[in-house]
């Protein structure tokens, strides 16, 4: 088991170390860790300790585009307590990772374009002090891996991934993930890129496909969509069949074939 350690010295004179037992997790799993802290030379009344799940999200506003940080889960690890001068304490925590948490790693390797993490917040004497972001690596669910593997077999090439502000139908998140691919050889004459989005739940997930269609001299480029459901009990072959059916439905809609 790999332990990750984040050291943050808060200005109030309390030193905090947050240790994640499993920084590589999947949606629906439990993130475990503990917050270790001690005061320097003063007594403090701690009002609470909080763990925030945060993500860097792209925001489009008019002609401008910028990135901002969203907190999408806030867990209270501890309520009020007294911290004596020179004393140290430790607070364990267990946090269910939301099913809709975006993927930030594949095979334990960071996914280019994604920034997810957890930060520890100390409420002390009416002030909030937050430490640095500790990276969190969220790996795909097996069903998501099946979709990604099928795209790989079809020749789609990964381009990048990012988070966009907005809430999709069936989602509770204030943003959604887009995993972008260059089109595979079977479809490259019809569209340049494919964007993939997952909306996951406890027993099934929706897969959203968006293709950037090629424009011609009399036909400007525009997007076409498809959405289908994958159950976690589906065999990998069923998943690939659903994916191909989704792509074929998009092709029929646009008259590609």
Buried b (16+ CB within 10 A) or exposed e, 187-197: beebbebbbbb
Residues 243 and 187 in one domain: yes
pLDDT at 216: 41
pLDDT top residue among 114 and 131 = 114
Count of Cβ atoms closer than 10 Å to residue 9 Cβ:
13
Q: 113 with 238, same domain?
A: no
pLDDT: which is higher, 224 or 145:
145
The pLDDT score that the predictor gives to residue 4 is 43
Residue 215 has pLDDT above 60, yes or no: no
**What's the average model confidence in pLDDT over 173-198?**
93
> Which is nearest to 205 in space by CA: 155, 243, 149, 175?
243
* Mean per-residue pLDDT over the chain, rounded: 86
Note down the domain range covering 248. 142-254
Q: How, if at all, do strands 30-39 and 24-25 pair? A: unpaired
User: pTM to 2 decimals?
Assistant: 0.86
> Are residues 129 and 84 located together in one domain of the fold?
yes
DSSP letters spanning 116-168: EEEEEEEEETTEEEE-PPEE-EEPPPHHHHHHHHHHHHTT-EEEEEEEEES--
Task: CATH number of the domain at 81, please.
Answer: 2.60.40.640
- Mean pLDDT value across residues 229-237: 97
Report pLDDT digits (tens) over 51-75: 999 999 999 877 788 889 999 999 9
Residues 181 and 197 in one domain: yes
Asked whether residue 125 falls in the same domain as residue 15, the answer is: yes
- Looking at residue 125, its pLDDT comes to 65
Q: pLDDT for 139-154, tens place per residue?
A: 999 999 999 999 999 9
Q: At which of 115, 138, 161 does a domain end?
A: 138
DSSP-assigned beta bridge partners for residue 245: none
Q: Which of 37-46, 77-86, 116-125 has the lowest mean pLDDT?
A: 37-46
Which residue, 150, 143, 121, is CA-closest to 54?
121
Cα angle vertex 13, ends 10, 16, to 5°? 50
State pLDDT tens for residues 153-167. 999 999 999 999 999
Residue entry with tokens 């996951």: 200
11, pLDDT greater than 60: no
Residue closest to 118 by CA, chosen among 225, 23, 8: 23
Q: State yes or no: pLDDT of 110 exceeds 80.
A: yes
Mean pLDDT of 194-216: 88
Residues 121 and 149 in one domain: no
Is 80 exceeded by the pLDDT of residue 9? no
Tell me which of 89, 107, 138 is where a domain ends: 138
End residue of a domain, out of 138, 173, 205: 138
8 A C-beta contact, residue 26 and residue 138: yes
pLDDT band at 257 (very low <50, low <70, confident <90, very high): low
Number of structural domains in the chain? 2
């Amino acid at each position: 088991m790999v332990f990750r350690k984040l050291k943050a010295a808060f200005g109030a004179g309390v030193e905090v170390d947050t240790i994640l037992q499993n920084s590589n997790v999947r949606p629906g799993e439990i993130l475990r860790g503990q917050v270790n802290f001690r005061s320097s030379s003063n007594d403090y009344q701690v009002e609470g300790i909080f763990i925030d799940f945060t993500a860097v999200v792209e925001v489009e506003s008019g002609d401008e585009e910028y990135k901002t940080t969203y907190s999408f889960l806030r867990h209270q690890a501890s309520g009020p307590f007294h911290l004596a001068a020179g004393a140290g304490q430790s607070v364990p925590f267990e946090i269910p990772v939301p099913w809709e948490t975006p993927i930030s790693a594949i095979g334990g390797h960071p996914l280019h374009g994604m920034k997810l993490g957890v930060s520890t917040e100390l409420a002390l004497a009416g002030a909030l002090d937050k430490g640095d972001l500790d990276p969190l690596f969220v790996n795909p669910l097996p069903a998501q891996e099946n979709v990604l593997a099928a795209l790989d077999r079809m020749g789609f090439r990964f381009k990048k991934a990012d988070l966009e502000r907005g809430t999709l139908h069936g989602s509770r998140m204030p943003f959604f993930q887009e995993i972008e691919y260059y089109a595979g050889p079977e479809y490259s004459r019809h569209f340049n890129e494919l964007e993939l989005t997952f909306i996951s739940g406890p027993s099934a997930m929706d897969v959203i496909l968006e293709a950037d269609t090629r424009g011609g001299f009399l036909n400007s480029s525009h997007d076409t969509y498809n959405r289908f459901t994958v159950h976690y009990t589906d065999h990998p072959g069923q998943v690939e069949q659903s994916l191909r059916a989704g792509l074929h439905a998009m092709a029929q809609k646009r008259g590609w074939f």
